[in-house]
Structure 1
Amino acid sequence: MSNMIESMRRKISSAGDLQAVVRTMKAMAAANIGQYERAERVLGDYDHNVRLGLGKCLRDLGPGMAMAAGPTPTGRAPVGVVVFGSDQGLVGRFNDDVADFAVAALRGMGPNPRIWAVGERVHDRLGDAGFPPAGRFAVPNSVSAVAPLGGRVLVEVEAEGGRAGGAITELHLYYNRPAPGGRHAPVTQRLLPLDARWQQEVLALTWPTAALPEVLGETMPTLKALIREYLFVSLFRACAESLASENASRLAAMQRADRSIDDLLETLSGNFHRLRKSSIDEELFDVTAGFEALGTDKA
């Protein structure tokens, strides 16, 4: 009986230690969600300003100049795809959902799309589905690490276009976006080409003040710089939304784990108290039986 009680005490202690780890992870996930959501909101203002600048350049140059300033289609250029996932687990179906969503689209994209995975888990998931990525990037562990990732992705996309014999003129992003109730939803965004519809959306933006801006220097170099900034901002926002979704999924998973551990601790504590009571009853019975035996011997 004493061995069973000691074993039950060790189980309770282990469950308590595990619950402390789970609650620490819950707190970290909740804090991370906040920082990535704030970064995404702040970046929205910057993205709007970049679009205003693009609209000014397009008005000065005339329709169709965004496509002229971007990569030139070659007919043999591959389609570029960037899929955002996670490096760590404990996120439920976070990686499975975005990978399945991307794979369904990849099957209709033609031969040999160039795929980059952000995160080890989604990298492996895409490879298992028959679409091995050309490269993998580590998932940023803070807001300050998101910007360098965006720069590396753009450099790799440009370099891959050179290796393929022509610039990548079509680029798609696949990532999870936060949804109500701590859920997530896989979405896609096409960054390239900068087609007529995209240009119309940019041109529809009106300058917020009566003082209209002027482009200093040559307009075409400014347009090219703004296009690159637009691509960078879009990558940053996609990564920030993906990270917010990842941490929301981890928070939900840790909340479920915390409830399960509470149930387990309640069960273990109940069993421990029953064993302890049985042990005490046995000890009392032994004492009573010994006392009675001594009384019989004296008689």
Structure 2
Amino acid sequence: MKPILIKNTSSPNLSFTIEERIKPHFSVPYHFHNEYELTAILKGRGSRFVGNHISSFDNSDMVLIGKNLPHHWHNDKGASHSNEEVKAIILKFDADFNGVRLFDLPENYQIQKVLEKASSGLRIVGETFNKLVSLMQSLLTAKGPDRISLLLKILYEIAVSDNLEVLSNQNHIPANKSNDYDNDRMNRVYEYIMNNYLEEISLSKVAEIACMNEAAFCKYFKKRYNKTLMQVVNEIRINYACKELLKDDANITEVCYQSGFNTFSNFAKTFKKITGTNPREYKMKIKKLEK
């Protein structure tokens, strides 16, 4: 499996698209496209893949995706089938608006620069996240010239924000320029991890899937993702554990083993390293917030 090209089509009466999605799960596969994309996750939890960056996401995740940058949001295993399991607003636009290069105008220089940075994926947090969600919600119902002004306002807020995190490192190659064999190899690894992270993950098995010896694979994976294989697997497992701990009847010890860990001490140590708190404190903190 490799990231697939998705060709987006918009209405002839609209120069870009924005939509609200409320679904049981993310249904779009690992993919890329020629448009820029701003995705705001308002409800949902799982793992996010952007270029060569892998991390978890929750109810306040927002990323600006550059052109031809492979990406995918993956729900946690065991997610419920509620119609509100995932809620997101997705904005897609091109640099060419029916022949008009809007972002090339001198007044839009700052926007042009931030779109260049988006080639690596930009996570948007803090106060900027809240501002952009409000603007995106307004854009959902806007008509006529208001759509263009709101789009420019959204991009300008990103361009002048200090609340940005670059996701994919310099080793990332755009999907339309990367080697097909390399894409296939890493996507076989990706598929194996996402199908088996709640079970034992064998380095030898993963290296075999990548058609490499263990030492070469470890070096290759670390260079590509800036993390070891087990760091990535543990982040995905802890994210799953966080979701399970939200349940009223959750038993922390049971969640430990359900999440793929063999010992409670390793689970607790990894949990605190990734979340900054231990599982019990995390569960108590969430319960207080719900009151």
Which gives a bigger RCO, structure 1 or 2 (Cα 8 Å, sep 6+)?
1
User: Which structure is higher in helix share?
Assistant: 1
Is TM more than 0.5 here? no
Name the TM-score class by shorter chain: under 0.3
Structure 2-normalised TM-score?
Answer: 0.21
Structure 1-normalised TM-score?
Answer: 0.20
User: Which structure is higher in strand share?
Assistant: 2
Mark the structure with the bigger radius of gyration: 1
